[in-house]
Amino acid sequence: MNSEQPSVPIEQGISIVIAFRNEAKNLPALLRSLAALNYPSEKVEFILVNDNSEDRGVQIVENWLDTNFTSAKLLHGNSLGKKAAQYLGIQNATFEIIACTDADCELPKAWLKRINESFIDTKTELAFGAVEIAGENHALQQLEFLALIGSTIGMLQKDWAVMGNAANMAFRKQSYLDVFPTLEKTGSASGDDVFLLHEVAKKQRAIAVLAGKDSVVKTLPQADFKSLFSQRLRWASKARLYSSKIAIAVAVLIFAVNSSLLLQLLAALHFTTSFVGFVFLFAVKLVADYFLLRSFARFYEQPIRIEVFLLQEIINIIYVPTVAVLSQFVRFTWKGRKY
């Protein structure tokens, strides 16, 4: 007779750190999801950091704190941006495990349980989970995001530390503090999640992926093309600061493939013989992208509309090289700040 009892995960203390700026319209949904998290209240700490907001966000958070939690606090950052605000929150965190998300997100009830499970392994220093775009009438954004998140999680599961998303991220406090000087040196307005990933990836078995579909965080789509384009410029601008050889190789490959397609298309407009080359290269990419995307979509239980997929693939021929090039030269605005 086997006397061994099934192991039960130890519920570790987790500090949730969220920096926010001008998010008055999104904070109520976030705060409702924080209140609904299924985890022992004595094991959770809520730290919200005001990144120099200019709207009613601070008042909304203060009202929520008054009516909901004692194990929560509101801190006020300086005017140096999200990186400094988040660092302030992490410095003031009580628990060793830090969970981060964005102010325009909604969290699943089991989020902290899934984070806790990942950090039962003492070697785990960083964990990422999936993010999906909520709402309707944003099919192109949803499909693009599905491809980004699916490939991110897929590569992480293969120990390819290329990308991550700060909307669903957890790490050990000391691991973050150890590499923060390196993050500061980048001088980037974005990408601390990715740069932290690249630093932690230098250690074996240090990165985990949150298990289960009930760990997926929902975020909002960008309201208009200008906001979307600024966000993508912000994401792409950090590529020149990569130190990870794998991340550089993947970025170069994506740029090279889409740039080759664009050049083939431009040539086909002038030379009929180039049209065959364009069609062949586009067809190969189309098939490869579809089967990869289909596997992601099945796992996350999201449908793929063929017409949206084809439109996305055509747009990417121009969109990807344009964003990649402009992100290295053009200023962009994010949260009311120019970079």
Residue-by-residue DSSP string for 205-245:
T-EEE--SGGGPEEEPPPSSHHHHHHHHHHHHHGGGG---H
Domain range enclosing 104? 14-129+165-221
Same domain, 169 and 280: no
Q: Per the domain annotation, does 40 fall within a domain?
A: yes
* Cα 138 to the center of its chain, rounded Å: 18
Q: Which two tokens stand for residue 75?
A: 């801190």
CATH code for the domain of 23: 3.90.550.10
Name the one residue in this structure whose structure tokens are 């407009």.
269
Same domain, 303 and 169: no
* Cα 279 to the center of its chain, rounded Å: 33
Q: What is the pLDDT of residue 56?
A: 93
In the DSSP assignment, the letter for residue 35 is H
Q: What is the pLDDT of residue 248?
A: 81
Nearest Cα neighbor of 292 from 282, 304, 280 is 304
* Ranges of residues in the chain whose predicted pLDDT is under 70: 1-9, 68-70, 79, 183-192, 273-274, 332, 334-337, 339
Q: What is the pLDDT of residue 45?
A: 94
Same domain, 113 and 20: yes
Q: What is the pLDDT of residue 24?
A: 92
Q: Per the domain annotation, does 108 fall within a domain?
A: yes
Q: Per the domain annotation, does 140 fall within a domain?
A: no
Q: Which two tokens stand for residue 84?
A: 């400094």
Same domain, 32 and 175: yes
Query: Are the beta carbons of 222 and 231 closer than 8 angstroms?
Result: yes
Q: What is the pLDDT of residue 185?
A: 61
Looking at the structure of the chain, the number of domains it has is 2
Query: What's the pTM?
Result: 0.84
Backbone Cα Rg of the chain: 21
Q: What is the pLDDT of residue 106?
A: 95
User: What proportion of the chain, given as a percentage, has pLDDT over 90?
Assistant: 32
Q: What is the pLDDT of residue 1?
A: 37
Q: How many residues does the chain have?
A: 339
Q: Which two tokens stand for residue 134?
A: 């909520």
Q: What is the pLDDT of residue 189?
A: 55
Among the candidates 151, 186, 221, a domain finishes at 221
Rounded to a whole number of angstroms, the distance between the first and last alpha carbons of the chain is 66
Q: Which two tokens stand for residue 155?
A: 């590569």
Q: What is the pLDDT of residue 3?
A: 44
Same domain, 207 and 264: no
